[in-house]
Structures are given as structure tokens and as C-alpha cells.
Amino acid sequence: MIDITVQELKEKFDKKEKFILIDVREQFEHSEFNIGGVLASLQTSLTYKIAELEDQKDSEIIVYCRSGNRSGMAKQMFTQAGFKNVRNLLGGMLQWQSVYPQ
């Protein structure tokens, strides 16, 4: 599946589209700023989240992190587990905050 830009994700929020949003950063990063994703740290809990979502392999899943690197790895992990519709947020939270400053 093709990755997603912050603008495309914002459109999905605005249209109230249905998708699963997962933040793969660490707890302290998630606490500082997040866009509503469920926290599943790449380092500690993503493997459990993948198992938990086993029956959602056809659902759209969007993963994000600080810059897009960790979420790129998370996307690979989901894909290797058989998920078919996983998208990485390009530029991550750095890009989001650049385009949509608070």
C-alpha cells in the first residue's frame, strides 16, 4: 500500500473516514504530542498490537512516529505478518507539526 502524507491523513480525519491509527513512538513522545493514535511502541509493544489486530488484516492501518523511520519499520512488520493495507505517515510528527502548527 502507498504511504500517506500529512495532508492526506488530515483529509481522512476531516471526512471522519474509518482506519486504525497507531503511534509507534515511546510513551514520553506520545505524551508530549500526538494526533490520537493508539500507542504501540516499536521497541516494546508493537508485536503485541500486531497479534491483537490479527482479525483486521484487510483494514486500513496508518502508523506514525517522529520522522517516519520507525513507522517504516512498523509497516514492514505488519506487512510481514500478512496485513495488506498498511500506510506509513511520511515525515511523521515533525512534518505534521510543520504543516499544522498548534
Annotated catalytic residue 98: no
Give me Rg for the CA atoms of the chain. 12
Instruction: Give CA angle at 27 (96, 68), nearest 5°.
Output: 35
| Alpha helices in 1-102, H assignment, sequence order | 6-14, 27-32, 46-52, 69-80, 92-99
Query: Among residues 53, 65, 86, 93, which one is catalytic?
Result: 65
* Catalytic center residues: 65
